[in-house]
A and B are shown apart, each in its own frame.
Chain A
Amino acid sequence: MKRFLDWWANPWGQPRTLAVVTWLYMLWAIVPVCIAVLFSFNDGRSRSVWQGFSTRWYWGDPDQSVLHDPALRGALEQTLKLAGLAMLIAVPLGVGLAIGLTRWRGFGARPVNFLMLFPLVTPEIVMAVSLLLVFVSLYKIQLGTTAQALGQVTFSISYVVLVVRGRLLSVGRQYEEAARDLGASTLGALRLVLLPLLAPAIFASLMVVFALSVDDFVVTDYLSSNSSTQTVPIKIYSSVRGTTTPALNALATVMVVATLVAVTFAALVYRRFNKLQQGGGGAVSELAALEA
């Protein structure tokens, strides 16, 4: 007992209370998700009472499993399709914007810089409503995949700019100047030196856009047309309170696993980039810095 009290009160040790709070938080944040994943393997129809292990909700059930229910499978496909489109469009636009805004010091740079920050602080419902209204009443764009992709790109661009600009500022202008000094033209310096140096940030922003896209609910929901353009989050939202089967958990689990695999892969690649260029530096803390 005395040893325990000494350990607890050691002024040079870690503050025990904080450590306990932190670990409890971690458990609280992650265990519920793990339980939800567990119930996706439930043999029965309940999402709260364990009835044995089975993979029926993934592929076993001929009608209601993720693999065989067209609504669930469609949601998965639509989610990935939108994520692909968003990455493909938002990343080049954002990279261009980041490079342009850091290098361009003239009239117009300031307002665009300011405008770029707004999507980050606008509540999603405000953005969703405004996009819905403008598509319906001004641009006459059919709701559905196109509208959803346009919406997702709009809120993703700013994140790409933040990630890429952070890297640009830390890289500085010296490498470009060195390239110019050694005979490369402005565009040559950009292609041969700046883009390779930005590669980790571009890669990271692809991941960020992927995560934003597959997680997005509000904008995607407002701009969806009918059940054929429902994504996984929409599907969860619309059926979670009804009488539903663990197939919903299975659907969500597939998404979680897909995201985690992509992110782990990304972290490994990112670390490799960094090793080559800066001699290490934790990929994890880098990614943490990115999110913040």
Chain B
Amino acid sequence: MDQENQNLSQKELYDLKHQEKERQTKANHRKSSTKRILIWLVALLTLGGAIFGMVKLAGNAPSNSTGPVDAVSATDWARGNKDSKAILIEYSDFQCPACGFYFPIVKKLTEDYQDKLVFVSRNFPLQQHANARPAAYAAEAAGKQGKYWEMHDLVFNNQSQWSGAPNAKEIFTDYAKSLNLNLEQFTNEAGSNAIKDRVDNDYQSGIRAGVNSTPTFFLNGKQIKPTNYDEFRNLIEQAIKANP
């Protein structure tokens, strides 16, 4: 009887030990798979957070640069009704003859559609035009004194006068004088890095929009290639009708 009891308890003991061992290996297994899940969870969360954060951060444009081609940014030079639904943006080079050709057409458009259109001029000075950048700097510097469009028009109206001139800068200073600008301020600002950065920003925004020649026109974000006033007018009429 006694022995039987002992035998039984020994067997029980063995079973118990066995069970304990099994439970332990199971627990170990669970522990390692929990650890694995944790490791990859951390990896996934880190990467997800990283991508989300960076895309969000990248979505914020710096305030001092020009925006995309379908909207007027706060720093743009805009003519017409800023709240209008038709936005015409021109990437232009003051020295490019084609820009000079389009200038009176665009000017007439901005006058005829004063209430229904906003026109934005952005700088896209091409490298082969030595005086394009000084012209852009002059217009921007005049803008600092509130006379961007006056200088813009003056420079375009007299394009042939300064295009090939070696003393273009002096000619622009004369224009500034005729616009009654503060000449010292004008000269300082035309040569400043701030103005240069503005022009560069315009240029880079053009590159991003796929501009490779001047003038390039965008009407509500879409590139258009009208060749005369009537074609321009039709496109603008369509844009106004499409966005009442």
B is bound to A: no
